[in-house]
Structure 1
């Protein structure tokens, strides 16, 4: 079963396009560590550090998502999953802080093993909320 299928299942069919885009984004970046590094190198270290850390999560805007990922990557992901690029940027802005927070419950990136599979288990409760 692919990561997209697992994320889609966790979302219970709702937001399937967003789940696929998040899954694809994580795969493109080399997993959670790669995604965190993308934000760090994009000048968003303070934001992403708050998501990984144990305190409150700083918000990110749709514009900041586009700045870090680039308009081309956002447009490509949106097109692949049948979403409008602005809609996808906003969905990522809404979900990434919480998702990264759930994937790093001890305030640091998990070490070793299949990080995506480990993360999916942690995210199950997050995505199953009504």
Structure 2
């Protein structure tokens, strides 16, 4: 059982989904058993990251991804994932709008799945994974996210 399996309805995160989540959260593509940097990471540190901390993810890591979703009007949804209560769902079309077509296309291609499959699986997995990465409602540093991700 993987580290995040119980964070996802159905209890299993497939390798293609791990590839996409890794690109969003830590900036690594895990295809073919090797790690490589994700394409086009956002420059600059994620909000709240300490100077010199490892940066990652397509939007600057977990904080950058959550900011991107919040700025797309999904703040209450994101806050439910980070908070200690019930996780609000997110719809595939909301993810597509928030992340952008280019990002979705790149993630799907790198994960070896269709865009529709990627969006469907991300919309099911992301609330639980973010919840798992933010215990007690606390945002982890990017180095903590890297450490947890390397255990997955």
Same fold (TM over 0.5): yes
Bigger mean CA offset, 90-99 vs 13-22: 13-22
Measured after TM superposition, the shift of residue 11 of structure 1 is 7.1
**Residues of 2 paired with 1:101 and 1:25: CA distance?**
15
**TM-score of the aligned structures, taking structure 1 as reference length:** 0.78
Check whether the contact 1:51–1:97 (CA below 8 A) recurs between aligned residues: yes
For residue 43 of structure 1, give the secondary structure of its aligned residue in structure 2.
helix
- How many residues are paired up? 114
Residue 21 of structure 1 corresponds to 20
**Residues of 1 paired with 2:14 and 2:149: CA distance?**
16
- The one-character-per-residue Cα deviations of 1:2-21 (angstroms, maximum 9, x if unpaired) are xxxxxxx7579961111001
Residue 120 of structure 1 corresponds to 149
Measured after TM superposition, the shift of residue 28 of structure 1 is 1.0
- The one-character-per-residue Cα deviations of 1:82-114 (angstroms, maximum 9, x if unpaired) are 11001000111000000000001111212x460
- Alignment RMSD: 2.4
Check whether the contact 1:51–1:57 (CA below 8 A) recurs between aligned residues: yes
Which runs of 5 or more structure 2 residues have no equivalent in the other structure?
A: 6-11, 26-56
For residue 84 of structure 2, give the secondary structure of its aligned residue in structure 1.
coil
Corresponding position: 1:76 with 2:75: no
**Residues of 1 paired with 2:111 and 2:134: CA distance?**
26
Residue 29 of structure 2 corresponds to none
Which runs of 5 or more structure 1 residues have no equivalent in the other structure?
A: 1-8, 125-130
1:1-130 to structure 2, matched below 5 A, reads 10=3, 15-26=14-25, 27-110=57-140, 112=141, 114-120=143-149, 124=152
Bigger mean CA offset, 11-20 vs 86-95: 11-20
**Residues of 1 paired with 2:131 and 2:142: CA distance?**
19
